[in-house]
């Protein structure tokens, strides 16, 4: 085992409360493209930011839904399964307090068994009625091109945080990050604000050990005590 992996293993063994902060790179090994890599969703869909937007949903809800479903491959979502990285995090709950702050909307941390997950950008697997707030799952969303509330007949709104919407559970996520004794980022370019401010807050106000695991460098690597440029699957295999 290399020096870096020995150090990571020691940090994990010693920690009592680990806060993981995960991005789209967490799920690429489950087959879901990330956002900014070569085959990422953003590069495949030049109009991504215009479509996945609260304004667009408000003004053109009938145009919004088919495009939204196409971009996120909604019909195929049930095929994506949690990978070894998701399971590694979930299994740590047997011995430690574990929180997961995720930018992902795919629900794979919960599928793997993690119980303390903050879905900052919401979930692709649910939608709700803007009037009565009734929630609907993926099976219902796949039944029709334009999913409506069965009670109000309003067109549903995805539980994904659209550009222009407020993010979810930011306070709770910051509290978990600041009370952890080990903070680990996995598979995120840290390009998306305001969530990318959480590592800065940890560095400034918690000053606990911070680890970055990503395939490529990010602008914030200087904040971290240990930086490993590798795939998450490889890191877990080495541990």
149 marked ligand binding residue: yes
Of 8, 19, 21, 28, the residue at the interface with ligand NAD (CB under 6 A) is: 28
Q: Which of residues 182-211 bind ligand NAD (CB under 6 A)?
A: 187-189, 191-192
19 marked ligand binding residue: no
121 in active site? yes
Strand order in the sheet with 182-186: 117-119, 97-102, 17-22, 182-186, 209-214, 226-229
152 marked ligand binding residue: yes
**121, 128, 168, 219: the active-site residue:** 121
- CA separation for the pair 116, 121 (Å, rounded): 15
**Site for ligand NAD contains 104 (CB under 6 A):** yes
**Site for ligand NAD contains 215 (CB under 6 A):** yes
**Site for ligand NAD contains 40 (CB under 6 A):** yes
Of 12, 19, 25, 57, the residue at the interface with ligand NAD (CB under 6 A) is: 25
**Site for ligand NAD contains 158 (CB under 6 A):** no
Stretch that binds ligand NAD, among 61-69, 140-148, 162-170, 181-189 (CB under 6 A): 181-189
**Site for ligand NAD contains 83 (CB under 6 A):** no
Shortest Å distance, C-beta 42 to ligand NAD: 7
Residue number, nearest CB to ligand NAD: 25
Shortest Å distance, C-beta 148 to ligand NAD: 25
| 3-state DSSP of the chain | CCHHHHHHHHHHHHCCEEEEEECHHHCHHHCCCCCCCCCCHHHHCCCHHHHCEHHHHHHCHHHHHHHHHHHCCHHHHHHCCCCHHHHHHHHHCCCCEEEEEECCCCCHHHHHCCCCEEECCEEEEEEECCCCCCEEEHHHHCCCCCCECCCCCCECEEEECCECCCCCCHHHHHHHHHHCCEEEEECCCCCCCCCCHHHHHHHHHHCCEEEEEECCCCCCHHHCCEEEECCHHHHHHHC
Of 36, 96, 128, 154, the residue at the interface with ligand NAD (CB under 6 A) is: 36
Question: Binding site residues for Zn(2+), as ranges?
Answer: 129, 132, 149, 152
What are the residues binding ligand NAD (CB under 6 A)? 23-25, 27-29, 32, 34-37, 40-41, 103-106, 121, 187-189, 191-192, 214-216, 231-232
Enzyme catalytic residues: 121
């Amino acid at each position: 085992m290399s020096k870096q992996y020995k150090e990571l293993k020691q940090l994990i063994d010693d920690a009592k409360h680990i806060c993981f902060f995960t991005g789209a790179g967490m799920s690429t090994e489950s087959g879901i493209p990330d956002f900014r890599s070569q085959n990422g969703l953003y590069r495949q869909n030049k109009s991504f930011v215009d479509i996945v937007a609260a304004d667009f949903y408000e003004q053109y809800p009938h145009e919004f839904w088919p495009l939204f479903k196409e971009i996120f491959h909604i019909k195929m979502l049930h095929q994506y399964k949690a990978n070894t990285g998701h399971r590694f995090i979930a299994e740590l709950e047997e011995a430690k307090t574990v929180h997961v702050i995720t930018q992902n909307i795919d629900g794979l941390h919960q599928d793997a068994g993690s119980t303390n997950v903050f879905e900052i950008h919401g979930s692709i697997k649910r939608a709700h009625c803007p009037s009565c707030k009734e929630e609907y799952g993926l099976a219902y969303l796949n039944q029709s091109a334009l999913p409506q509330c069965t009670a109000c007949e309003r067109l549903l709104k995805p539980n994904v945080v659209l550009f222009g919407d407020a993010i979810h559970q930011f306070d709770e996520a910051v509290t978990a990050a600041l009370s952890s004794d080990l903070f680990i980022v996995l598979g995120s370019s840290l390009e998306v604000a305001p969530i990318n401010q959480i590592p800065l807050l940890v560095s400034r106000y918690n000053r606990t050990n911070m680890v970055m695991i990503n395939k490529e460098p990010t602008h914030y690597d200087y904040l971290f005590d240990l930086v490993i440029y590798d795939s998450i699957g490889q890191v877990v295999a080495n541990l």
